[in-house]
Chain A
Amino acid sequence: MEDKKQSVDSKKHIFDNPKNVKRLLYFLYTSCAVLLIFDFVIHRHVMHSWENLWGFYPLYGFVGCVVLVIVATWMRTFLMRAEDYYDSEGQDLGNINNKNEKSEQGEKQSGDDHVDD
């Protein structure tokens, strides 16, 4: 994130150049690798046994996000509707009212018919 910020500040349209995107990605890959190595170097005082597993946090973060995205994409199959799915709401209210009026009128008319009969 820091890197992105600086690059935007220093130059304009920096990501128009595919090389810069590559550089950013390589920076990310290297940071990840370094962080993974830190797992050996830094002695951590763990509070939970799972934390002792090597690479627990990196693995959890990576797998968690992949699962998140896959499940969310799958949710689209049954949750996604057209953008204007609810748009008829306000009009619906109007329509319902109109329908009521119409049906009431209809009933009146049919009632009239009966009186005439």
Chain B
Amino acid sequence: MWMIEIPPFVPFFIGGLIALLTSGVLRNFIMVSIPIISALHLWMVPDGIHLQFAFLEYQLQPYRVDKLSLMFGYVFHIAALIAIIYSLHVRDTMQQVAAMLYAGSGLGAVFAGDLLTLFVFWECLAFTSVFLIWARRTQRAQVAGMRYLIIQVLSGVILLAGALFYAAENGTLEFGYIGLDGIAGWLIFIAFGIKCAFPMAHNWLTDAYPEATVTGTVFLSAFTTKVAVYALARAYPGTELLVYIGAAMTCFPIFFAVIENDLRRVLAYSLINQVGFMVVGIGIGTALAINGAVSHAFNDVIFKGLLFMSMGAVLHMTGRINGSDLGGLYKTMPKTTVLCIVGAASISAFPLFSGFVSKSMVMSAAIEEGYDWIWLMLLFASAGVFHHAGIKIPYFAFFAHDSGLKANDPPNNMLVAMGIAAGLCIAIGIYPETLYSLLPYDTGYNPYDATHVLAQTQLLFFSALAFVWLNLRGKYPPELRSTNLDFDWVYRRIFPTVLQASFTSVWKLDKAIRQALLSKLNQGLTFFSNKNNRYSSLLSRNYPAGSMVLWVLVVLATYLFLSFIS
């Protein structure tokens, strides 16, 4: 039990510093060993508050461990290790440092025991992750990163305001159940919601993630949204509003995903869809539902990471990511193809893959609690996610028409990282008991009963049948080079246009007023000069100069007179 009080973000921040100062094999070795050592350390840490101190009149707890935070702590270590291995070939200090700090910030946030510490790491997440987007070094990445940063920082500022209201209302900053009463509850809810990609606040994700670097997106997909899910699970379990928000999140992105061309953007939409399942689980709030939400977050980090890695491998090797440019890659990238299909099967929740053992908990909880329509929406979303992430991604990248691209499988480190993730997906799917034993509640849930397995398999196979049928009849929308408008259109097009128009009108008005004033001034000056022209006198041709000379004369005469008499 040595050094219990060292919070897990510390090794990662030190790792970031070392990554800044070292290079080559040494850096790779240190970066890989940090998550392993830190995870072993975390494994030995018992539940409880391990670090706290008084700040002003508040108790701060930068390091608090319980079952909920541990679950996210473990998966963040796994995600960090996989993503670090995936990015070992990268020779870009900025990315490596940013990635380490970003992973550390995520860990700091889930072990934060008070709102102020949470806020600090909340903002650290934003500021470190944006470099993973900017590291792409394109114009698009630069502006997308800036939009991302603005929205993330906005979320942080709202969180800080909420925390201040919370402290004023309750006299404590402790981060526990908050609930939706009072202004503090709502402000913090909105802050979490923005980071959680609630509908209409979701576009930072679909906008920025596909613009990040190949390796950066793998990091990004793991931490930010899952920290928000953790925060919601901690502060708002059983909030009914979340059920409806989550259900909307599961359904609307799949429509966009079907028509999206950029395959990493398709995955970004399906990320929102998966987070939706977690949000529904948190909203239902029963032990089974919370377990489902948390375990689905755990699995999602791994299988979504795997899918982003496989698409990253395609982008890395071919330089293309649009469905319209790809196809037939199974011939030259067979290993990536297989690994991608494992990820696709996991996200689609095929029995024996990881998605199945966690998603079914949320679905069961929904139907147990009588949310019939929500359950139907989740079922539709399950079919939809198979459709766009399970079939569309592998189909358009690796099969479909032969694009003629000749690319090999990616470097070994990428394959190893994908292999670890794929292994975990299958292992958790076949033997979910280990995962279940880590969960916050003991519900004795068994996903593998005949009813569940049959229902899910039927749903998925007939979804596949629908895809085949539509494809054979030529009804499936072809991949087209296009941009699809989403809610970001409001702040990328309408706001600028409206602002530009209003500024133009303000400028016009300002110009008109100034011109009017100037002409009035001119008129006045002309009037006075004309008037003065009429006073032609002895000393000067115009009045003011004449009178001035007269008065100077008077002063001098007085002075002369006074000097004589004194």
Cβ-defined partner of A5 (8 Å) among B338, B368, B515: B338
Interface: B477 (CB within 8 A): yes
Q: Considering residues B139, B258, B514, which has the most beta carbons from chain A within 10 angstroms of its beta carbon?
A: B258
Q: How far, in angstroms, from A87 to B376 measured CA to CA in the complex? A: 39
**Chain B neighbourhood of A78, CB < 8 A:** 485
Cβ-defined partner of A90 (8 Å) among B142, B383, B514: B142
**Chain A neighbourhood of B337, CB < 8 A:** 8
The answer to whether A76 and B330 touch across the interface, beta carbons within 8 angstroms, is no
Q: A9-B334, A62-B465 are in contact. Are A72 and B483 (CB under 8 A)?
A: no
The answer to whether B518 and A61 touch across the interface, beta carbons within 8 angstroms, is no
Q: Considering residues B341, B380, B465, which has the most beta carbons from chain A within 10 angstroms of its beta carbon?
A: B465
Q: A32-B465, A35-B458, A57-B455 are in contact. Are A81 and B492 (CB under 8 A)?
A: no
Cβ-defined partner of A65 (8 Å) among B259, B364, B375, B384: B384
**Chain A neighbourhood of B468, CB < 8 A:** 25, 28
Chain B positions 148-204 with a Cβ under 8 Å from a chain A Cβ: none
**Chain B neighbourhood of A46, CB < 8 A:** 451
The answer to whether A60 and B522 touch across the interface, beta carbons within 8 angstroms, is no
Chain B binding site: helix, strand, loop or mixed by DSSP?
helix
The answer to whether B259 and A64 touch across the interface, beta carbons within 8 angstroms, is no
Q: How far, in angstroms, from A109 to B368 measured CA to CA in the complex? A: 74
Chain A binding site: helix, strand, loop or mixed by DSSP?
helix
Interface: B476 (CB within 8 A): yes
Interface: B464 (CB within 8 A): yes
- Against A, the Cβ 8 Å flags (1 = close, 0 = not) of B447-483 are 0001100111111111111111110000111001111
**Chain B neighbourhood of A48, CB < 8 A:** 367, 372, 375
Q: How far, in angstroms, from A38 to B514 measured CA to CA in the complex? A: 83
Q: How far, in angstroms, from A9 to B331 measured CA to CA in the complex? A: 10
Interface: A101 (CB within 8 A): no
Q: How far is the CB of A72 from chain B (nearest CB, A)?
A: 4
Q: How far, in angstroms, from A104 to B362 measured CA to CA in the complex? A: 59
**Chain A neighbourhood of B256, CB < 8 A:** 72, 75
Chain A positions 89-114 with a Cβ under 8 Å from a chain B Cβ: 89-90, 92-93, 96, 103, 107, 110-111, 114
Cβ-defined partner of A69 (8 Å) among B399, B477, B515: B477
Chain A positions 60-74 with a Cβ under 8 Å from a chain B Cβ: 60-66, 68-73
The answer to whether B477 and A72 touch across the interface, beta carbons within 8 angstroms, is yes
Interface: A53 (CB within 8 A): no
Chain A positions 27-83 with a Cβ under 8 Å from a chain B Cβ: 28-29, 31-32, 35-36, 38-39, 42-48, 50-51, 57-66, 68-73, 75-76, 78-83
A-B contact pairs, 7 of them (CB 8 A): A15-B399, A36-B458, A44-B455, A57-B455, A61-B460, A68-B254, A84-B483
Name the 3 nearest CB pairs between A and B, nearest first. Answer: A65-B466, A61-B462, A72-B258
